[in-house]
Amino acid sequence: MDKERKKLYSLVKQWNESRLDLFCISDPSEKLEFHGVIRFYHQDSTNNGKYATKCVRVSSTACTVDVIITLAEKFRSDMRMLTKPKYGLYEVHVDGDTRKLKDDEKPLLVQLNWVHDDREGRFLLRNEDNKGPKCKKVQVGVGLYDESEDTIKGFKLTRNLTKREKKQQRKNKKLNNIQKKNTEDETNTNTTEIENISAVKHLYNQVPESTFTRTVSNPEAVMKKRREQKMQKRGGNFRRFNARVDA
């Protein structure tokens, strides 16, 4: 326990050294619990789509579901009646990297881990039901034939299908269902990725980085450290390349 607490204490110390006082994290307790402030964003559809922000003090034990319930009360009182699956909490970064937090994740721990790469991120509360129209692909031939008899352009033929034709028909129907499911899965995946990228761009365009939105206390020092890390990484790669050439 002491080893974990020391490791966590060191991580918190690194965070506090480069963050504004408002976003400083408390020292971990004996039970490894700590508290900190997180700034959350939410797009208000009733206010011309403008983003509202709230700074909320969060415990390291609070999971995503708990935080969403709290945010529902903070942002809009009428959001309290919305069910959990309708809203999701996303971690977004200016480079376009975005992901949805799982229900059992701890947002404060997620934010604390940004210190590893000196990253600046944001937490965006998104309405999961507010999605764009999905593309529907028409399958050629579907509905042309019924299961028990031929149907062409609305005209039914009295001839019954043979056993062989019925077997082939069931096989074709099964293949069509598989293709339809694969197409829907691919469409949903592509749509989600496009929506995530669009949401990140829109958030940073509408609420650009400024002294109001940042958590870093000294952006210039952070940028300098990032450049030094990149140079060290490039130097290491160059030395390894020379070693391979000499060998």
Summarised one tens digit per residue, pLDDT across range 185-222 is 655 555 555 566 666 666 777 666 655 556 666 656 66
Mean pLDDT score, 3-32: 91
In a domain, 198, yes or no: no
Examine the pLDDT at 123 and tell me if it is beyond 50: yes
pTM of the shown model: 0.60
HSE on the CB side for 226, CA within 13 Å? 13
Q: In what order do the strands lie in the sheet with 121-127?
A: 50-59, 35-44, 121-127, 87-93, 98-100
Cα separation of 202 and 91, whole Å? 14
Which of 106, 132, 158 is the last residue before a domain boundary? Answer: 132
CATH number, position 59: 3.10.20.90
In a domain, 169, yes or no: no
In a domain, 191, yes or no: no
In a domain, 244, yes or no: yes
Which of 103, 132, 161 is the last residue before a domain boundary? Answer: 132
Q: Residues 124, 11: one domain?
A: yes
Domain count, the chain: 2
Domain range spanning residue 237?
Answer: 219-247
Mean pLDDT score, 145-163: 46
Q: Residues 27, 127: one domain?
A: yes
In a domain, 8, yes or no: yes
In a domain, 197, yes or no: no
Which of 132, 163, 185 is the last residue before a domain boundary? Answer: 132
What pLDDT digit, counting tens, does each position of 63-106 carry? Answer: 999 999 999 888 865 555 545 547 899 999 888 888 999 999 99
